[in-house]
Amino acid sequence: MDQEKRNQRSIDPATLVMLEHAEKEGLETAWDRHDKQDPQCGFGLLGVCCRNCNMGPCRIDPFGGEPQRGVCGAGADTIVARNLLRAIAAGAAAHSDHGRDIVEALLHAATGEAPDYRIKDRDKLLVLAAELAIEVAGRSDEEIAADVASAALDEFGMSKGTLAFLNRAPEARRNVWSKFGLTPRGIDREIVEVMHRTHIGVDNDYVNLILHGLRTALSDGWGGSMWATELSDVLFGTPQPVEGVSNLGVLKEDQVNIIVHGHEPTLSEMIVEAARDPELLELARAQGAQGISISGMCCTGNELLMRHGVPVAGNFLQQELAIITGAVEAMIVDVQCIMPSLTGLADCYHTEIISTSPKAKFPGAKHVPFEEKSALKIAKEIVRMAVENYPNRNPDRVFIPREKMEFVAGFSVEAILSALGGSLDPLLEAIKEGAIKGIVGIVGCNNPKITHDYGHIALTEELIKNDVLVVETGCTAIASAKRGLLLPEAAAKAGPGLRSVCEALKIPPVLHMGSCVDISRILVVAAAVANALGVDISDLPLAGAAPEWMSEKAVSIGTYVIGSGIYTVLGTVPPVLGSENVAALLTAGANDVIGAAFAVEGDPLKAASLIMEHINGKRSKLGLP
């Protein structure tokens, strides 16, 4: 492949170096497989393929010819809406099941069944207890934590009432939810109801379907994801600004390299602790290594970098490239965003792929089941496997790109408040005066349909240039880390207003707020700003964007973000264009119901213009300059 074509695959220098190396080694990556899928199925792209029953699969002719109905009589509107709902349900389930695992980890820590975990943030535990009206006087942290965890568990299958964190939203927003029947009931219940409604012959009204999709997604954002974030903070500590290093150059030529990849912090926290074990460090030296180096990938990486400044080796599309460095002794995976291709690539090297979750096994991987009750023991066992694998590394095949970049991360809501001096007032003032024009959350994945990291970086840079404070999570935040945008010095790239605020507060113009479930932190900030100004979230100069999204989780995220009243621009097209009605509802009609809608724009600079237009419109409605 010539360099010009390769340059269309990524803007990240380390990735480009590794893609060339992969090619020389004759190894296939997601980009190659994406090329081989060309042309992708047109029915699938438009969302007009249905296989919800065995009279099908059915498809609708998108050009108005025959067939226009599935065997059961379902038309394009029903089929597209049902498919979208199933994607929302899968995404909400992934976040919320992750959330449930964290809740259970806290419960087991509190009851002594997971003795390696301790409550790290007592203050946050007490804040949550107060929010849930749980008695704290005269009780131990463990007793309080057990009650908080039980209350959280009840929210998954609750039989009456609504989710506790909905009360964080402004009253005006809760009224919108209530008026249109969008107030989520139990988290599991909404997901189950999607599966019921999308079964053949149940809900065939696309508007009714989409409304339930919004309710389901809201149960993720204000339920499952928010619980995951809050209780991870209680258990592992609420992030505070922390320095670290990013990109594949963090891998060490002379150390045992372990990459933790996936989403959950429960095991990876223990891996970090195990890697400090003197006995294992001694074993590493005995094997000829200078030490044990842990780095992260995707959102497990984000969880660790937010709390410990653990280096992050890359984002979603770099996971295969990490193995192709030939320098990774073990890649430890849990759940979500882990490519099935990894084990095949690892077979070409000495790398061990070690799966740990009973929910996610990978043919060809070693499976070491992770159990909280013996968390540290299992973590040490896994680290030992990696260390003992070091002598199998072939130094002649090691190829680590030099590129790496420093970052500052750790901007939880609490950290932002503390940077602001303990109150939101300086931020509100900056927004009112126009030094900060608005706040935009940029989140989501990589997708070979878009030049890797280009969507994230071009949009981020354009917005900060326009005095927009950018908050990020997930693979977007890793892209910005690699680009140097998470450093206070990056304020030099911002417009004069944002630059002055960043310099005064000594913060970067792009704040890393965590992993995908931590988008709930962005909701909390949005709600707090709206409450402080006495308006609805939809009145604020805010926007969301997912320039390179690919996962079903991102579909749920986008849906709960618009459901929360925040205009959202997607960079890759969701499979809804097969129904003009569904597309119109999502991009326009939703404004009349929830005060926000989606836009789709693949060019990040045009997306930035759309966002600026939106922000300026909201500012003038609020009477701001």
**Applying CB under 6 A, which residues contact ligand SF4?**
50-53, 55-58, 70-72, 74, 79, 200
Rg of the chain (C-alpha set): 24
241 binds ligand MSK (CB under 6 A): no
Output the smallest distance, CB 549 to ligand MSK, in A: 7
**118 versus 199: smaller Cβ distance to ligand SF4:** 199
In angstroms, the CA 378 to CA 525 distance is 37
List % helix, strand, coil for the chain (3-state, nearest 5): 55, 10, 35
561 lies in the binding site for ligand MSK (CB under 6 A): no
CB of 473 to ligand MSK, least distance (A): 7
**Span of 62-70, 183-191, 266-274, 550-558 interacting with ligand MSK by CB under 6 A:** 550-558
546 binds ligand MSK (CB under 6 A): no
Q: Is 452 in the site for ligand MSK (CB under 6 A)?
A: no
Nearer of residues 56 and 344 to ligand SF4, judged by Cβ: 56
Q: Which residue, 71 or 153, is less far from ligand SF4 as judged by CB? A: 71
Q: Provide the 3-class DSSP secondary structure of residue 376.
A: helix
The site partner of 71 among ligand SF4, ligand MSK, none (C-beta below 5 to 8 Å per kind) is ligand SF4
What are the two backbone dihedrals, phi and then psi, of residue 257, each rounded to the nearest 5 degrees?
A: -100, 125
Q: How far is the CB of 478 from ligand MSK (least distance, A)?
A: 8
Q: What is the smallest separation between the CB atom of 210 and ligand SF4, expressed in angstroms?
A: 18
In a 13 Å sphere around the CA of 332, the CA atoms on its Cβ side amount to 31
The reply on whether position 114 binds ligand MSK by CB under 6 A is no
- Partner in contact with 50, chosen from ligand MSK, ligand SF4, none, beta carbon below 5 to 8 Å by kind: ligand SF4
* Nearest residue (CB) to ligand MSK, 445 versus 526: 445
Contact 275, 286 (CB under 8 A): no
Q: How far is the CB of 451 from ligand MSK (least distance, A)?
A: 16
Give yes or no for residue 551 binding ligand MSK (CB under 6 A): yes
One symbol per residue from 305 to 324: x for binding ligand MSK (CB under 6 A), - otherwise; what is it? ----------xx--------
Strand order in the sheet with 542-546: 510-514, 468-473, 438-442, 542-546, 568-570, 598-600
The rounded distance, in Å, linking the Cα atoms of 624 and 314 is 40
Task: Report the SS3 class of residue 243.
Answer: strand
d(CA 507, CA 516): 22
194 Cβ contact list (under 8 Å, min separation 6): 85, 86, 88, 89, 212, 213, 216
Count of residues of this chain found to bind ligand MSK when the rule CB under 6 A is applied? 15
| Residue 469 interacting entry, from ligand MSK, ligand SF4, none, C-beta within 5 to 8 Å by type | none
8 Å CB contact between 107 and 232? no
Closer to ligand SF4 by Cβ: residue 56 or 426: 56
Distance of closest approach, residue 196 Cβ to ligand SF4, in angstroms:
14
Q: Which of 105, 169, 251, 298 binds ligand MSK (CB under 6 A)?
A: 298
Using DSSP, state whether 409 is helix, strand or coil: strand
Cα(145)–Cα(103) distance, integer angstroms: 10
Is 570 near ligand MSK (CB under 6 A)?
no
Q: How far is the CB of 107 from ligand MSK (least distance, A)?
A: 24
CA–CA gap between residue 272 and residue 277 (Å, rounded):
9
Among 308, 553, 614, 619, binds ligand MSK (CB under 6 A): 553
Nearer Cβ to ligand MSK (287/341): 341
Please, what is the angle between helix 375-389 and helix 265-274, to 10°? 60
**Exposure string over 613-624, b if 16+ CB within 10 A, otherwise e:** ebbeebbeeeee
Residues 158-187 that bind ligand MSK (CB under 6 A): none
Backbone angles phi and psi of 151, in degrees to 5: -60, -40
Minimum CB distance to ligand MSK smaller for 298 or for 485: 298
Per-residue H/E/C for 435-493: CCCEEEEECCCCCCCCCECHHHHHHHHHHHHCCEEEEEEHHHHHHHHHHCCCCHHHHHH
DSSP secondary structure letter of residue 169: S
User: What string marks each residue from 466 to 505 as x (binds ligand MSK by CB under 6 A) or -?
Assistant: --------xx------------------------------
516 binds, among ligand MSK, ligand SF4, none (CB under 5 to 8 A by kind): ligand MSK
Asked if residue 441 binds ligand MSK (CB under 6 A), the reply is no
Give residues 323-382 in contact with ligand MSK (rule: CB under 6 A): 337
Rule CB under 6 A: which residues touch ligand MSK?
A: 263, 298-299, 315-316, 337, 444-445, 474-475, 515-516, 551, 553-554
